[in-house]
């Protein structure tokens, strides 16, 4: 065989046996290309895009009414409880989108400003309010329509039953906002007699009674209106994602118990209801705001 033919055959054999990285373009280094000569590093613009992360959602914000609001993160929680009232059953898992809830019940000071801005009529027992001492106590005697109007005026809304219950009990199935211990005066304002607005504690007074998300007075002080119509058997057919209650009804749900109630009504799963025009002096509210989408 001629020498130059032998050299050609040897060169071809060597090329077929070389690993792929040896055939890459000069300077390819340890890139991640998929073809011969394509193993190059990503450009700087590609690296910058890969490092982009969504902005974190703040844990606390301030509503348009000046009230602090606390984040309740998205996720599942257990709604309802066995062994108590029939309308709290069956126990079921519910997924909730994230939302912000007022850290405190709406106060007389904030409601007073709302009335000045809108011309709305004062609630029941308003004559008992002493502006110099009662400004940080929750407003009571408001109808469901009053509460709804206040929240909407400031770009908020009333919480749904499911949102309220998740905010109150968290994800560990606790009976009360602070845990499973029965209420005492360090946890909640309850079992009192009306002597005027002094019956109500100033919002945020009971540090030990906070919910898992740092929300105050979700048990006692004042019942809180929520958005839903009441239906005793709703839990048997409610959706497992962001339920909003029945489409119609005669009464609206209230949650949390009040200064007047005892242990039974302070449970975070307890459901009570009143007509939307009711204006009792143990009825208050707080607002909710959706997180940016």
Phi, psi of 151 (to 5 degrees): -60, -45
CA dihedral 261→256→279→105, nearest 10 degrees, is: 120
pLDDT at position 177 over 80: yes
- Decide if pLDDT at 247 tops 60: yes
pLDDT tens figures, 15-39? 344 443 333 433 444 343 334 333 4
Sketch the domain layout of the chain as residue ranges. 3-50, 60-290
pLDDT band at 50 (very low <50, low <70, confident <90, very high): very low
CA 250, 252, 257, 260: dihedral to nearest 10 degrees?
A: -50
Mean pLDDT of 43-68: 72
Of 52 and 243, the one with more pLDDT: 243
Q: Which pLDDT band, with edges at 50, 70 and 90, does 225 fall under?
A: very high
Residue 98 in this model has a pLDDT that exceeds 70:
yes
d(C-alpha 169, C-alpha 97), whole Å:
16
Cβ atoms within 10 A of the Cβ of 165, count? Answer: 26
Could you say which of 3.50.50.60, 3.40.50.11540, 3.40.630.30, 3.90.1580.10 is the CATH number of the domain covering 60-290? 3.90.1580.10
Q: Which of 286, 290, 274 is closest to 102 using CA atoms?
A: 286
Instruction: Give the model's pLDDT for residue 24.
Output: 40
What is the pLDDT at residue 54?
Answer: 57
Average pLDDT estimate for 46-61? 65
Read off the pLDDT of each residue in 131-154 and give the average, rounded to a whole number.
98
pLDDT of residue 56: 81
- Among the listed residues 233, 229, 232, 234, the one whose alpha carbon sits nearest the alpha carbon of residue 248: 229
Q: What is the pLDDT of residue 12?
A: 42
* Average pLDDT over every residue of 41-69: 71
Q: Using alpha carbons only, what angle is made at residue 280 by residues 276 and 281, rounded to the nearest 5 degrees?
A: 145
């Amino acid at each position: 065989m001629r020498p130059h033919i032998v050299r050609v055959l040897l060169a071809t054999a060597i090329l077929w046996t070389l690993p792929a990285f040896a055939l890459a373009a000069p300077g390819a280094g340890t890139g991640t290309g998929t073809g011969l000569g394509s193993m190059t590093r990503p450009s700087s613009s590609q690296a910058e895009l890969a490092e982009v992360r969504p902005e974190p959602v703040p844990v606390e914000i301030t509503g348009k009414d000046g009230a602090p609001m606390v984040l309740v993160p998205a996720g599942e929680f257990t709604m309802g409880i066995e062994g108590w009232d029939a309308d709290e059953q069956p126990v079921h898992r519910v997924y909730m989108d994230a939302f912000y809830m007022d850290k405190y019940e709406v106060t007389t000071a904030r409601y007073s400003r709302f009335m000045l801005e809108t011309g709305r009529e004062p609630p029941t027992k308003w004559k008992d309010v002493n502006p110099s001492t009662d400004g940080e106590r929750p407003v009571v005697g408001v109808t469901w329509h009053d509460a709804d109007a206040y929240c909407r005026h400031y770009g908020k809304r009333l919480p749904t039953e499911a949102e309220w219950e998740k905010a109150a009990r968290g994800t560990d199935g606790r009976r009360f906002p602070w845990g499973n211990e029965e209420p005492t005066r360090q946890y909640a304002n309850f079992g009192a007699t009306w002597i005027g607005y002094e019956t109500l504690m100033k919002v945020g007074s009971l540090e030990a009674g906070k919910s898992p998300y740092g929300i105050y007075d979700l048990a006692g002080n004042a019942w809180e209106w929520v958005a839903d119509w009441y239906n005793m058997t709703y839990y048997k057919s409610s959706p497992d994602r962001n339920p909003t209650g029945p489409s119609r009804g005669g009464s609206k749900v209230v949650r949390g118990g009040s200064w007047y109630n005892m242990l039974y009504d302070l449970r975070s799963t307890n459901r009570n209801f009143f007509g939307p025009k009711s204006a009792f002096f143990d009825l208050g509210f707080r607002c909710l705001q959706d997180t940016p989408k």
